[in-house]
């Protein structure tokens, strides 16, 4: 059965929000044969992730980096390698948010301008990603149309225990009777699962250690100086303690290369090196070499994670992909003013159970510049209470716990996630940096022995069904 999906995305966390939506959209089109329309307020971000205006994904071997096949077969035209319920005619198109369409039409006075998405034929499914509020005409159809679409709110990923209980609940809006379903990604069988294409693990295993991997690394100019050198990738928010961490690597006894994509940690790199670092350029300090990479499309970013000994990731999209790399990683959650990110980090560390060294390092990395001493944060979540952290009302009362609406409100008062956030320089925040040094020293000595634990965690999660498969079943049960 071919289903028509409209996926709404209003970007808060730049590449994280856009990246999750793009991966989901193209998987549903390629593996399940769905007709997907991704409506996004910042479509320019998708182009940097490897998308085009028509939603076609160029084969990875045709890109400048010459990688392996993307695993999507014929791209997003329904000729993928999946065995879903689609009929082989899946499609994926990208559309700007209706406000932008209307503005462009008025500006150009073009009578042939495309009609806004809310004037399109009925959808079978409407997904509001991360609390994106449907435009008013579309929202009205959810209540009054003779054949209204199944309305799903795709929530942010969390390892917190309450996710299993909230996943699948629905809310009936008192004003008009619209029914909103809540879909929570998660790490358990009872949750909504994690995004993972069907061919991903096989492609990863075929790539690692292959001649193709060596060619791909060579194109990027990545090479180890000797057999002891560690390759590390860095993708973080601007308040991460990058400069102090680089100083620790420079003073270390083992050689390390840190690979930093374009537009990541610009201020911290300039502060540490004394100058900006251009794309393709390297700089060395002691045992450390820092190399600036171009911004990579999603499929090539996956390959980068597969090739590293340690990955620093952030937010949601890169965090999920770090799991499938099967390598040790340090995660920096999206910082929230009410401290909800700490609950998420604690809950994840509890599930990961990788040991005190991993717990202390992730806490130190996340809280180095906060007003909270990471050495005083319990590595495990607090005991369950009647209310969930940052929760508010239960979903069936109409509120979304810890959802995109709260995060959007936070974004309205903070700089953009990829801009340079101000780092407070106070005596209290400076006290956090010794905790980072201690945590890194402990973590670094154990890095080579941590790989089996992270590999086992990846295999444990890969044994479960993926998010797109669970979502397809979720929709089939309710349509």
Catalytic residue set: 17, 316
Q: What separation in angstroms does the CA of 285 have from each of 67, 289, 359, 372?
A: 31, 6, 28, 31
CA torsion 434-440-446-452 (nearest 10°) is: 140
Nearest to 233 by CA among 281, 291, 300, 287: 291
Nearest to 204 by CA among 462, 400, 393, 409: 462
Q: What separation in angstroms does the CA of 459 have from each of 130, 337, 453, 469?
A: 27, 34, 10, 18
Neighbours of 284 (CB within 10 A): 14
In 270-309, at which residue ranges do the beta strands (DSSP E only) sit? Answer: 282-285, 288-293
8 A C-beta contact, residue 348 and residue 316: no
Q: Strand pairing of 170-172 and 179-183?
A: antiparallel
CA–CA gap between residue 474 and residue 192 (Å, rounded): 9
User: Which single residue is written with the structure tokens 């969930």?
Assistant: 388
HSE-CB at 366 with a 13 A cutoff on CA atoms is 30
What's the Rg (C-alpha) of the chain?
A: 22
In 135-176, which ranges are continuous DSSP H helix? 136-144, 162-166
Tokens of 184: 């929570």
HSE-CB at 22 with a 13 A cutoff on CA atoms is 33
CA–CA gap between residue 387 and residue 391 (Å, rounded): 7
The residues that bridge with 257 in the sheet, in sequence order, are: 231, 289
CA–CA gap between residue 84 and residue 427 (Å, rounded): 57
Output 98-106 pairs: Cβ under 8 A, ≥24 positions apart.
98/39, 98/135, 98/138, 99/41, 99/135, 100/41
8 A C-beta contact, residue 308 and residue 235: no
Element (H, E) at 9: strand 4-9
Largest CA distance in the chain: 69
């Amino acid at each position: 059965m071919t289903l028509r999906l409209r996926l709404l995305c209003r970007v808060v966390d730049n590449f994280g929000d856009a990246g999750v939506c793009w991966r989901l959209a193209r998987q549903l089109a390629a593996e399940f044969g769905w007709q997907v329309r991704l409506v996004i307020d910042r479509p320019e971000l998708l182009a940097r992730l490897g998308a085009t205006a028509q939603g076609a994904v160029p084969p990875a071997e045709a890109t400048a980096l010459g990688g392996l096949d993307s695993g999507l077969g014929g791209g997003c035209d329904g000729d993928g390698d999946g065995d879903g319920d689609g009929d082989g005619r899946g499609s994926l198109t990208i559309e700007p948010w209706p406000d932008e369409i209307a503005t462009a039409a008025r500006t150009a006075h073009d009578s042939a301008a495309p009609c806004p998405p809310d004037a399109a034929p009925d959808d079978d499914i409407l997904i509001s990603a991360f609390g994106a509020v449907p435009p008013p005409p579309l929202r009205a159809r959810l209540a009054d149309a003779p054949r209204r679409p199944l309305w799903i709110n795709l929530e942010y990923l969390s390892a917190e225990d309450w996710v299993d209980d909230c996943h699948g609940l629905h809310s009936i809006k008192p004003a008009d009777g619209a029914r909103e379903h809540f879909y929570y990604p998660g790490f358990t069988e009872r949750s909504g699962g994690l995004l993972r294409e069907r061919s991903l693990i096989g492609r990863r295993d075929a790539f690692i250690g292959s001649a193709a991997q060596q060619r791909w690394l060579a194109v990027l100019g990545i090479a180890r100086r000797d057999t002891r050198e560690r390759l590390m990738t860095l993708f973080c928010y601007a308040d991460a303690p990058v400069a102090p961490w680089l100083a620790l690597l420079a003073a270390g006894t083992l050689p390390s290369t840190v690979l930093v994509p374009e537009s990541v940690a610009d201020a911290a790199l300039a502060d540490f090196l004394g100058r900006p670092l251009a794309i393709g350029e390297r700089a060395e300090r002691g045992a450390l070499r820092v190399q600036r990479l171009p911004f990579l499309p999603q499929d090539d970013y996956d390959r980068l994670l597969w090739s590293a000994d340690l990955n620093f990731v952030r937010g949601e999209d890169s965090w999920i992909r770090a799991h499938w790399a099967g390598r040790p990683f340090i995660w920096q959650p999206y910082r929230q003013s009410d401290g909800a990110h700490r609950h998420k980090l604690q809950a994840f560390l509890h599930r990961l159970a990788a040991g005190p060294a991993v717990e202390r390092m992730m806490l130190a990395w996340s809280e180095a510049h906060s007003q909270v001493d990471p050495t005083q944060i319990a590595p495990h979540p607090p005991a369950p209470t009647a209310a969930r952290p940052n929760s508010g009302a239960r979903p069936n009362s109409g509120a979304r716990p810890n959802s995109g609406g709260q995060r959007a409100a936070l974004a309205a008062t903070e700089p953009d996630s990829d801009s340079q956030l101000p780092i407070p320089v106070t005596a209290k925040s400076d006290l956090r940096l010794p905790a980072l040094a201690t945590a890194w020293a402990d973590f670094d000595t154990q890095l080579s022995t941590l790989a089996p634990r992270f590999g086992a965690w990846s295999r444990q999660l890969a044994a479960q069904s993926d998010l797109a498969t669970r979502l397809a079943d979720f929709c089939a049960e309710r349509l």
